[in-house]
Chain A
Amino acid sequence: MMLVRLLTVMGTLTAGLMTAVLLALWVGTVRIGAVQIMGILLGKLVSIPVSWSEAHETIVLSVRLPRALLAGTVGSALALAGAGFQAISRNPLADPYVLGVSSGAAFGVVMGILTGLGAGTGGVLLLPLFGFAGALVAAVAVYGIASVDGRLPIQTLLLAGVVVSLFFASAIMLASALVRAEELQRVVFYLMGHLRAVSYPTIGAVIGCVLMGATLIYAQAVPLNLLSAGEEAAAQLGVEPERVKRIIFLACSLVTGAAVSASGAVGFVGLMVPHAVRLCLGPDNRLAIPASLLAGAIFLILADTVARTVAAPTEIPVGAVTAFLGAPFFAVLLRTRYRSVYP
């Protein structure tokens, strides 16, 4: 019963994800036919007669595909982190940004850029780790500030998130003020939040981090369900609350760090996607976590496609699109579903 539902939902969302990727490859300033796109993709796997120009192949395989993959990965990562943080804090308003973990990750990445360690081909692959390190420092700081007698009350958790977030935001400003103009430009460009075309190895590194984090988070799906009744009730059913919290903080920091290193600050996905998924599918994390992963990918791929085409040749920041598309969608969802769910 549960398995059938899981497979149905995942099957539907996977089909949606593939459609979104194809759409992202198809839409753009340069018109390339849908048949040719399929040909270019299939041509990489089997030999078929070439009916497209080399320029079109370059656009699809070296510009649009890596960008769609990156958007999908960042979207999954942010949605996963949101789902994890919301479940562990028992608060639908928690997400990597609210808890300051994104700011920590951004600070880590900025440090990577400014120290020069994140430059060059090898350095670019290190940036997700800088992001992870920053995110983890922020998460540990939030945990440390918020915990009372080894427990993590929601009120102090959110306050600690705000404090840590503000701290890292100022730290980034301070660091930026102390560097030369050309470095500052790189930092500012990064902080604006771009899903620019990046190399496949970089995408591979980010995907690797996200898959690892996703596995860790999904393994805690049932304990997270039980924790929604509180730590004591969960402990009386055999859950080790502290252990679950540590794993979730670690894994969410990992995926947030990787996402933020690749895309800068993209908001709204981590907050909205898991909440929307729960409103549609219910709060069972066995379903909500993997569904958030796929829905986050679909959402950010579509948002990025809009961001790069709606005002072409000018690109608008993807973060602006996520909020612009997401807010009304979310409002409708809340008005139509909220009443049936929270009477």
Chain B
Amino acid sequence: MRAVEVRDLSFSYRNGRVIDGISFSVDVGEVLGVIGPNSTGKTTLLRLLSRVLVPEAGAIRLFDRDLQALTRREVARIVAVVPQEFQVAFPFTVEQVVAMGRYPYVRGIGLETTEDRLAVERALGETGTAHLLKKYLDQLSGGEKQRVVIARALAQDPRLLLLDEPTAHLDLSHHLEILRLLGRLKAERGLTVVLVSHDLNAAAECSDRLLLLREGAILTAGRPEEVMQPAIIEKAYGCSVWIGADPDTGKIRILPRL
């Protein structure tokens, strides 16, 4: 069984095609990094995988089930999304925001069950956000807020976690904190992760495999060291790069050249 199986997937907005007949799959417990230039369909792909958008053509299967045949609540019990931007219109506390992740399991008027409480506690523990419970979302720093949004997604008890630029507005240390958290989640929860990122170093470090998109099509897919080749990256982004290894850890590092 594959966690994600995408076949000949296409999608267009009014102003043109964004995803153009792509096929790929993600194994259970695998981290797939999706990279590529701006407006190349990465976020749209996440929207399709969480069924906020319906494909124009092609099929998506999650854990051997046809995504389009599931109800929204069923989808929400399988897939959780950490969006690029997360804002609430009213001043909800961290506790309330994380508890919202339990909605796919709610019955009646939404009184909390023991199961809900345990799931929320676990999510708070994993993300180290338990001490923020009574704070409001806009009182948090960027890193804290991102961990709260991840906690909300984990409270859903998903099997597949979709992350859209999880480190975009964070400084170096918070950036690392989120990447370490993802590593722990993969190890401890066995979560399958699809990670969209502009940060090629982070994507290469976190991912088991990379999917390089350009203009809605797959340019290359493979292990990070296969995709992170100067010729491939230069073709995708149209700029020259240096790719080498971290002298201490041996991990792939990429730098743009002016």
Q: What is the CA–CA distance of A56 and B196 in the complex, to the nearest angstrom? A: 75
A-B contact pairs, 26 of them (CB 8 A): A3-B111, A87-B90, A218-B109, A221-B110, A222-B109, A226-B103, A228-B88, A228-B90, A229-B86, A232-B47, A232-B52, A233-B81, A233-B83, A236-B50, A236-B75, A236-B76, A237-B100, A238-B72, A239-B72, A239-B103, A240-B72, A282-B91, A283-B96, A284-B92, A284-B96, A343-B138
- What chain A residues lie within 8 Å of B97 (beta carbons)? 229
What's the Cα separation between A237 and B81 when bound, in Å? Answer: 9
Q: Whose C-beta in chain B lies nearest to the C-beta of A224?
A: B90
Given that A225-B96, A343-B136, A343-B139 are known contacts, is A238 also in contact with B73, CB under 8 Å in the complex? yes
A91 within 8 A of B: yes
Q: CB distance A230 to B87 under 8 Å?
A: yes
Nearest B residue (CB) for A223: B103
Known: A235-B72, A236-B50. A283 touches B110 (CB 8 A): no
A-facing mask of B148-181, CB < 8 A → 1, else 0? 0000000010000000000000000000000000
Total residues of chain B contacting the partner, CB 8 A: 37
Beta-carbon contacts under 8 Å, B103-136 to A: 103-104, 106, 109-112, 136
Q: Which of A229, A233, A236 is packed against the most chain B CB atoms within 10 Å?
A: A236
Q: Kindly report which residue of chain A lies nearest to residue B79, judged by CB atoms.
A: A236
Partner of A221, one of B73, B79, B109: B109
- Specify the main secondary structure of chain B where it touches its partner: mixed
Quick one: closest A residue to B83, CB to CB?
Answer: A233
| Complex contact B91–A235 (CB within 8 A) | no
Query: Who on chain B is nearest to A341 by CB?
Result: B91
B residues in contact (CB < 8 Å) with A: 47, 50, 52, 71-77, 79-81, 83, 86-93, 96-97, 100-101, 103-104, 106, 109-112, 136, 138-139, 156
A237 in contact with B156 (CB, 8 Å): yes
Q: Which residues of B contact A282 (CB under 8 A)?
A: 91-93, 96
Q: Find A233's partner among B73, B75, B86, B91 (CB 8 Å cutoff).
A: B86
Q: Is A278 interfacial (CB 8 A cutoff)?
A: yes
> Chain A: which residue is nearest B91 at the CB level?
A341
Question: Within the complex, what minimum Cβ distance (angstroms) separates B2 from chain A?
Answer: 21
For B106, give the chain A residue with the smallest CB separation: A222
Cα(A271)–Cα(B75), bound, Å: 36
Contact B92 A228 (CB under 8 A): yes
Chain A residue numbers with a CB within 8 Å of B47 are 232
Task: Write the nearest CB–CB distance from B146 to chain A, whole angstroms.
Answer: 14
Contact (A225, B100) CB under 8 Å given A235-B72, A278-B90, A283-B92: yes
Residues of B contacting A219 in the complex (Cβ-Cβ under 8 angstroms): 109
- Which residue on A lies nearest to B137, using beta carbons? A229
Question: With the chains together, A238 CA to B103 CA distance in Å?
Answer: 7
With A and B bound together, what is the CA distance between A238 and B101 in angstroms?
Answer: 10
In the assembly, what is the distance between CA of A226 and CA of B73, in Å?
13
Max count, chain B CB within 10 A of own CB: residue among A219, A225, A238, A283:
A238
Return chain B residues, CB-CB under 8 Å to A283: 90-92, 96
Flag if A229 contacts B87 (CB, 8 Å): yes
How far does the alpha carbon of A218 sit from the alpha carbon of B109 in the complex, in Å? Answer: 8
Contact with B101, one of A221, A237, A341 (Cβ below 8 angstroms): A237
Known A232-B52, A237-B103; judge A2-B76 contact (CB<8 A).
no
Q: Does A196 contact B (CB under 8 A)?
A: no
Chain A nearest CB: distance from B72 CB in Å? 5
Docked Cα-Cα span, A343 to B135, in Å, equals: 11
Residue on B nearest A225 in the bound complex, by CB: B100
A55 at the interface (CB under 8 A from B): no
Is A226 a contact of B96 with CB atoms below 8 Å?
Answer: no
How many Å from the CB of B112 to the closest CB on chain A? 6
- Residue from A229, A232, A238, A286 within 8 A of B76 (CB atoms): A238
Q: Which of A218-257 contact B (CB under 8 A)?
A: 218-219, 221-223, 225-226, 228-230, 232-233, 235-240
Tell me the residues in window 301-315 of chain A with beta carbons closer than 8 Å to chain B beta carbons.
Answer: none
With an 8 A cutoff between CB atoms, is A1 at the interface?
yes
Within the assembled complex, what's the spacing in Å between the Cα atoms of A13 and B112? 23
Contacts of A228 in B (CB 8 A): 88-90, 92
